[in-house]
Structure 1
Amino acid sequence: MSVGSVQAAEKIVPPPDTVEKLAWLTGCWLVDGAEPGTGEQWSTAAGGTILGASRTVKGGKTTEFEFVQIRITEPGQLAYIVQPSGKAPVIFNLLRQDKPREFIFANLDNDFPSRIIYRHDSDRILHASITGTLKGKFTTIDFPMTRTHCDAVSNERAR
């Protein structure tokens, strides 16, 4: 089966009742093996929305950042809406929920990424990944993360 026919066969699923099903994202997550400060921070669910921000630090400087909303959109679809490094927002609708703590969002019109996956393995371990076509080749980039206190980066700099 070709990638195109697999994508065509996948259906968007009905959203969960509320964004609270993703409440386990709340807090701060550092990307394992990356420079200090590289990771994600997620708000608590309120008003039907979870807000997030991510930052990539290389050579002691922020090289990339994203602002994210997870919310139910007007058509009633749970969506991951990302605005990368000040660019226009891109909407990824919930494609499927494989387990209570694994969510796959997709925008098959977006080359890279076309899918964003969040899997919560334990209270302290999160696996995020992005997949899609990058430079003509199907690519997956993994972001293993560990929960931290949100003031951990500030405390590191104070030392």
Structure 2
Amino acid sequence: MRRLCIVLSLCAIALCHAARAAHAATVGDLDWLSGCWQSTGGEAGSEEHWLAPAGGSLLGVGRTVAQGNTVAFEFMRIQQQGDSLVFIAKPSRKPEASFPMISLQGKKAVFENPQKDFPQRVIYQLKEDGSLLGRIEGLSDGRERAVDFPMQRKSCP
């Protein structure tokens, strides 16, 4: 019983620390996301561009190209809201959705909105090799699903 209490106490401390870190984050903590990113293995033109943090926000745009045509696009922003950050996405042909940040550990940011249809989580992680992994996760048709979007930094036009 004593071990269980210790384990639960340690988990509570870790959760409080993670929540405090996420709430104390500023857009400047995500400056590693800014720049131009080319989809790894995607067709030319499949990319994301993120402006540098300024005015309490990062602004981004993404485009997916298949068979020479733009098949999807998305306008994105990460914005300061009080003591926390929120990822806001406006994908093509879908309503805008907000995902509050739930954790920021080093160069990995996790945003989540459990009330939304798929995806419920949006994750960006800068890898040690300099590549960027975008990932969406959540329940779809009652099953857990994840889609990865690996990217490499490229020169901005």
Structure 2 equivalent of residue 70 of structure 1: 78
TM-score (norm 1): 0.81
Within the alignment, does 1:25 sit opposite 2:30 as a pair?
A: no
Q: What secondary structure is seen at the aligned counterpart in 2 of 1:13? A: helix
Return structure 1 stretches of 4+ with deviation > 6 angstroms. Answer: none
Within the alignment, does 1:124 sit opposite 2:127 as a pair?
A: no
Larger Rg: 2
Deviation, structure 1 residue 123: 6.6
Deviation, structure 1 residue 86: 4.9
Task: Return the alpha-carbon distance in structure 1 between the equivalents of residues 146 and 77 of structure 2.
Answer: 22
- Of Structure 1 and Structure 2, the greater helix share is in 2
TM-score (norm 2): 0.82
Within the alignment, does 1:96 sit opposite 2:110 as a pair?
A: no
Amino acid in the other structure paired with 1:30: Q
Deviation, structure 1 residue 111: 2.3
The C-alpha deviation readout for 1:19-57, integer Å capped at 9, x for no partner, is: 000001111101110100112100011101100001110
Q: 1:51 aligns with which of 59, 67, 86?
A: 59
Within the alignment, does 1:133 sit opposite 2:143 as a pair?
A: no
The C-alpha deviation readout for 1:96-139, integer Å capped at 9, x for no partner, is: 12x21001000000121000111111473111110011233210
Runs of 5+ unmatched residues, structure 1:
1-9, 152-159
Deviation, structure 1 residue 13: 2.2
The change in CA–CA distance for 1:18 and 1:94 in structure 2 (over 3 A counts) is same
The change in CA–CA distance for 1:113 and 1:31 in structure 2 (over 3 A counts) is same
How many residues are paired up? 140
Runs of 5+ unmatched residues, structure 2:
1-14
Amino acid in the other structure paired with 2:68: G
Once the two structures are aligned, what percentage of the paired residues are identical?
A: 37
Tell me the C-alpha RMSD between the 2 structures: 1.8
